Structure 1
Amino acid sequence: MGGVHNLGGFKTVKWQAFHGSLARRLAIRTLMFALVISMLPLLQLVIDIDPAKPMFMSSNGCDTEVGYFDPDSVLGRVLKPIAPFVFPHLRSGMCQDNVNLTISVVRELMGKNLLNFGAKALCIGKGTASAVSALRDFGFSNVDEIHRHPFFMLKQKQVVCELDFDDNSFDFVMANDLSKVSVPAILVSEVERILKSGGTGAILVGSEGSNHDSLIRSATTVSSFLKRSNVIDVVSLGSFTLVAFMKKGNKLGSFEQYRLPTNCPSIKRNKPIMNKMEPLVDKMPKANGKRVTYLPNLVGVPSTGKLVYIDMGAKEAANFSNSNWFLPSYPINSKAFSVYIVDHDAFVLTSHVKCPGVTFIYHPALGGSVVKDKSNSVNVHDEEPLIDDEEFDFVVWFKETVEVADFVVLKMNMGKAEMKILSELFESGIICYVDELFLHFSDADRDDNGESHINLFQSLRSNGVFVHQWWGN
């Protein structure tokens, strides 16, 4: 009996030891699991995991593997089964939904001519990688994303700060789910700040329905934070409402929204020397000719090439009957240029004063933009033919004239028509053939807010246009 009792006691001790070991193992594993979960926010900071960027990646931005970790590693084996629960927004199904949503946004905006493939785009928020991939597959070549930013970190509870981009950087900015942002006003303001004038912002707002009242609430949520933009489109897209807005340009125009050709010779040459130009001023300086930094003083101009000088609205600022009509103190003699005077007033032909090398270009469209003053008629070569308005396309003529030249100087007496022409030169890329530009505004010509034209000149110079303020002779 004693042996049997001892055997029973041994089995009891062995059973208790086995269960005690199992309990300890379960406790340790539970503790390790809890430790891994608690360390995830720290891992995010240490190894730069961005919860705004999907961890499931493939050609279309969505896959079934954890992209940041090797699945054969210890960390990969631990995170792979728990990632869908720890990061619910990383599921491939939701990723595909984000791709579809991005495509819907693009189709909506392009269908209303609010977006084009040449736009420089930025995606902000959850699912940026899949959104960028969708845009590129759709045909956009210049797309950026915010890999890590305070708007969507740590379950969207971090403090919001400025986006790390300069003002007027993008043509199109799309931000996902405004309701997940801790301070929506700052995000909308930042999107507006980095948009170029005329650029389009697209904000997705979570909504409970597609009825009229719901759309109005979503639009109001965004529009209440806008300062320099107008809401231009509000539409329901599934569980979201798309609120699109366009950033206003100033009254004098802004040229930062134009994307010039990669091979733009004048811009490529001028950009490195823009810092050597004379500063912009609000009032006419006392000695205009002495302070202008003429381009030929900074770069070489071929002595035997074809030089072209085009003066639009010249009769308002110069008198061709004397010798002071050309740019004062210009490094190149006026006789070296083929000169074209563009004006709307055929009365200048009646002077019949011989002026060799000067060609008059009749452009009636300028008639509504400048004040007629027949006391200062332009003396031109009377043998040049008057081009019929019905057969004349100024932009085509301008391109044919300047693209064969080796050096082009353009001076414009600015009005509404001239501003439109300048915009057309940018839109068509012909501005790439203009080496040096002079713009003249009358003293009384200011925008509705009474501000000077410095913003216009800054916009041109930021694009690499070697432009001067011209105050007249």
Structure 2
Amino acid sequence: MEPTAGKPSLLRNILARLLLFGVFIIVVRFAYVVTITGESCNLGDFCFFSLPQNLNFVIPGAGTGVSAAVGNDVVPGSNPRRDLYTSKEWIKAVHFYSSIFQDLISEGYLSPHSKSLCVETPLGQEVFALKEIGVEDSIGIFKKAAKPLVIKGDGHLIPFHDNTFDFIFSGGARLDLSARPSDFASEIARTLKPEGFAVLHIKANDTYSFNSFLDLFNSCKFVKMREIDGFDSSMPYIREIILKKEIEVLDHGNRKKSDNKCSVPGHKLELVQKAEPLILEEPLKPWITLKRNIQNVKYLSSMVDISFKNRYVYVDVGARSYGSSIGSWFRKQYPKQNKTFHAYAIEADKTFHKQYELKKKWVTLLPYAAWVKNETLSFEINRDPGQEEVSELNDKGRGMGRIQPVKSKQGKLNVEVDQIQGFDFAEWLKNTVTERDFVVMKMDVEGTEFDLIPRLFETGAICLIDEIFLECHYNRWQRCCPGQRSTKYEKSYGQCLELFTSLRESGVLVHQWW
């Protein structure tokens, strides 16, 4: 009986299938890592076409003094990333950052033994520059990895433990571009070791934005600043800021909620001096004069960079309808620098409340009266003759509401008096915003400004407001009766002018509203 060949054939088929299956697994794994995750491969990923972890670039003038080359016998042009690493732009950036880091080493802010992190570095030039000058323990993070220099990570959620790094660097004005600069700054401070150094390149070109930047780092001490030339036309010059993490948390002058002391910094006083002049003489036609004056207003956001603020808030005190000022003026005309503001509409008149239900989430209605404490108040509405109600889209015929009306009677013609809830506006403001936020306020409260403004000073809440548009109410000349003033308000124009002057002398950028 002749021996059968069935078993060897079966064994060969099994081995061949196992080999094909192994090749299939490698191909699938390679496609997943490169195509799906967008990361470079290493040996652990079963990939053989990626940038080796031990690849050693040689950049002219960056430490070795020889021409640029690629390692491991790979032909230029066979790998797009490798071509990028040898491009003139990439090498120029490496030279730039090498010079920056060498200066920091000579000044004692960086050492070859520093465990270093580069935040938001898409191509890893900063990381390579650190390694090239001898800071070997360096890594970068970006939303898309570029191994071995950069791993996947976000500057707003750095993938490392607290107190990990001796040195953290953020170049390319990344903090300027952040939609959440406070989170960005907090993550840098969190992962930096106590007494470690953070170096950031920013485009802050005014004292307001510079101080706003420092306020973001409440655990770091400002050490040094210098202006340096950038390495491309998009950043002709930048500011290099050096911060040192303190063992104890600093407050940079920020007040606690219970602290009523308030001192306006000098850089805000300088901005007030640049504001449009106040109207010193009482205008004969105040509504027309003040409306025209708004064309002369020098908005704060047109004078300074507000990029380093944590949130952007508009508070409309005495908002009336949505279209009265929020929709018609602030949303359309106020220069916001492409920032998203959240608006608070404070309006006690219930006639206007319904239309706010239809508005977007960026507006929050507070259906109460801004006052100096929490208590029930009388609220008087003086309607124009013949106007019984106001439509949802038109509020021109609706009289302005006043709290604590003077000599009002429930049955008086064209007067409506309701009981409403007043709240301590100053305390609400202190619990809603911080000095890290950019806060714009419009106040039209029918004479109550003479109560609210002093309360803001008393509680220190005035320091939380960056810019105020204030309508001051006084006993104006009556149109019907020449030589006679209205008795609706007790204050004079001179007292209004004193209120505006006191605000500006205290460093508050206030504008005359109509």
What TM-score, normalized to structure 2? Answer: 0.34
Q: Which has the higher contact order (CA 8 A, sep 6+)?
A: 1
Structure having the higher strand fraction is: 2
What TM-score, normalized to structure 1? Answer: 0.37
Structure having the higher helix fraction is: 1
